[in-house]
């Protein structure tokens, strides 16, 4: 036991404990009378009550990857309520009128289910933190991984996000997983026949696309990993690996949004409607919109991490570019 708990593991456990405490502290705020507009607990309960795999109130605009994961995470809580003979039928009847009506009659249920869902966000963030540590360890060493994990642990932007039952905590985990598997794919020494880490990287990127519309941007690191790995093997099996990776990406999307198979027309109609809403759409507007979005994300990341930590991250990226050749070996 003492051999297992070396100084690096103790430090990692300490950072995880700090982050988990900060993410759980006062996460019952505003309940049961108010909640964040983007929290999906009520949407998931509607899906469960109607026994469907799409968001009945999402008008097929939002993918359902987070909804399905949250639905699975709520199963233990549902089993607990069933075992304790909680009046779930009465709750469902009250909720059929409105959530406010149900929260007025069953304030403890409305509070507890949101606290449980918000705690799941904190748990997902713990896994994100561990894989951030693993990435630092893979690229540099354990100390670099601990610095990255410790910085993430006290990032108040991330802690604030974990106080809500929103998709961001799961999306952050999948982004980090995609990067972790992409790096692992480049370090894979199993020969040119098949690279399991490439499959996992594309699967994770696909599932992230079933959570948020920006998920396909993860095709950039995964495709680069595929390119460099095949290049190292003198382009052997390029068609074979490309097809497998594409299949893995599509599988990830369908795993999170299986309703695409049964309601593809509705999704297509809603998404295309967003493009045709502005009849004066032009290439110039696309460039201006894309540029403003990039700067918007830049300042959003700065607000989440805080200026000191954000500058620290930029310095780390700069150091990676400087030492790219040494790291790639």
DSSP 192: S
pLDDT at 54: 82
pLDDT at 66: 93
pLDDT in tens, the chain (329 residues): 555 568 888 999 999 999 999 999 988 887 877 667 778 888 898 888 888 888 877 666 678 899 999 999 999 999 999 999 999 999 989 888 888 888 889 999 999 999 999 999 999 999 999 999 999 898 888 998 998 899 899 888 889 889 999 999 999 999 999 999 999 988 887 665 678 899 999 999 999 999 988 888 899 889 988 888 888 776 777 788 889 899 999 999 999 989 888 877 777 776 666 555 554 545 555 445 545 555 666 666 666 666 666 677 777 777 767 776 665 55
- Whole-model pTM: value is 0.84
Q: 3-class SS at 233?
A: coil
3-state helix, strand, coil in the chain (%, to 5): 75, 0, 25
Contact 249, 205 (CB under 8 A): yes
pLDDT at 186: 85
* Alpha-carbon gap, residue 306 to 116, rounded angstroms: 28
DSSP 279: T
pLDDT at 214: 82
Contact 162, 173 (CB under 8 A): no
pLDDT at 286: 47
In the chain, % of residues over pLDDT 90: 36
User: The tokens 């790291």 sit on which residue?
Assistant: 327
* Alpha-carbon gap, residue 329 to 270, rounded angstroms: 46
Question: Looking at beta carbons, which pairs linking 25-32 to residues 24 or more positions away fall under 8 Å?
Answer: 26/163, 27/115, 27/118, 27/119, 27/122, 27/162, 27/163, 28/111, 28/114, 28/115, 28/118, 29/163, 31/110, 31/111, 31/114, 31/115, 32/103, 32/107, 32/110, 32/111, 32/114
Burial label, 191 (beta-carbon count in 10 A; 0-12, 13-18, 19+): exposed
DSSP E strands, the chain: none
* Alpha-carbon gap, residue 71 to 55, rounded angstroms: 12
């Amino acid at each position: 036991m003492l051999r297992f708990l070396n100084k690096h593991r103790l430090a990692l456990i300490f950072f995880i404990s700090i982050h988990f405490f900060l993410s759980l502290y006062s996460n019952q705020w505003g309940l049961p009378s108010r909640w964040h507009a983007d929290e999906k607990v009520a949407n998931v309960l509607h899906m469960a009550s109607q026994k469907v795999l799409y968001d009945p109130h999402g008008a097929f605009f939002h993918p359902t990857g987070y909804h399905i994961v949250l639905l699975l995470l709520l199963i233990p809580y549902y089993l607990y309520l069933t075992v304790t003979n909680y009046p779930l039928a009465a709750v469902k009847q009250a909720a059929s009128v409105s959530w406010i009506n149900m929260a007025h009659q069953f304030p403890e249920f409305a509070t507890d289910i949101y606290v449980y869902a918000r705690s799941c966000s904190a748990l997902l963030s713990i896994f994100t933190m561990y894989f951030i540590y693993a990435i630092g360890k893979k690229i540099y060493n354990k100390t670099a991984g601990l610095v990255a994990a410790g910085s993430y642990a006290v990032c108040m932007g991330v802690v604030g996000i974990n106080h809500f039952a929103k998709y961001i905590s799961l999306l952050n985990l999948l982004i980090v997983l995609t990067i972790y598997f992409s790096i692992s794919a480049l370090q894979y020494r199993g020969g040119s026949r098949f690279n399991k880490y490439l499959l996992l990287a594309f699967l994770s990127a696909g599932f992230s696309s079933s959570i948020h519309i920006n998920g396909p941007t993860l095709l950039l690191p995964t495709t680069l990993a595929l390119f460099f790995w095949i290049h190292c093997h003198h382009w052997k099996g390029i068609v074979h690996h490309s097809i497998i990776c594409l299949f893995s990406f599509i599988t990830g999307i369908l795993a999170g949004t299986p309703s695409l198979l049964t309601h593809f027309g509705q999704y297509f109609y809603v998404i295309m409607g967003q493009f045709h809403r502005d009849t004066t759409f032009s290439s110039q507007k696309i460039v201006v919109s894309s540029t403003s979005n990039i700067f918007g994300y830049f300042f959003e990341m700065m607000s989440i991490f805080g200026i000191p930590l954000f500058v620290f991250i930029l310095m780390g990226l700069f150091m990676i570019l400087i030492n790219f050749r040494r790291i790639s070996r």
